[in-house]
Amino acid sequence: MAALPEDLQYTAEHEWIDSGSPATVGITSVAAEALGDIVFVELPEVGASLTAGAVFGEVESVKSVSELFSPVTGTVVEVNAALADAPETINSDPFGEGWLVRVEIDTLGPVLTAEEYAALTGGPGA
């Protein structure tokens, strides 16, 4: 498993968020590896309102379908349209080109540091 970027924050549900404005949201390498080969991603539309802790989409792999949980309350300002044709990008680059949405944040939900997330998942830290 890849080291976790220290400059990101994480959720117990395996999403990450950066400190940008708008903030970028994705799923962690832990989640991508557990899911296996990702074949489809369902994401909200631009303008959709997200609520911290609530489901905002799904990731489908050859193994299962998993819900995506928002780390923030806010408004989607951009969706990674490239994932429609290449959802496997999440597997190959979960912290980079495999990002999911960009959100204007109203409220940040409960998040963890890289060290706290690594302790939760039993994986390596940054």
pLDDT digits (tens, 9 = 90+) for 75-99: 999 999 999 999 999 999 999 999 9
How much is the pLDDT for 3?
A: 77
pTM of the model: 0.94
How much is the pLDDT for 2?
A: 57
Residue 124 lies in a domain: no
Distance CA 10, CA 12 (A): 7
Lowest model confidence (mean pLDDT) among 10-14, 29-33, 49-53, 119-123: 119-123
Six-digit token pair at 43?
């994401």
71: cis peptide before it, omega within 30°?
Answer: no
Q: Which domain holds residue 77?
A: 9-110
Residue 75 lies in a domain: yes
Of all residues in the chain, the percent with pLDDT exceeding 70 is: 95
Question: How many Å is the maximal CA-CA distance in the chain?
Answer: 36
Give the number of domains in the chain. 1
Distance CA 28, CA 108 (A): 18
Residue 35 lies in a domain: yes
List of E strands, 15-114: 15-17, 23-27, 38-42, 49-50, 55-61, 65-69, 72-79, 101-108
Q: Residue 34: which CATH number?
A: 2.40.50.100
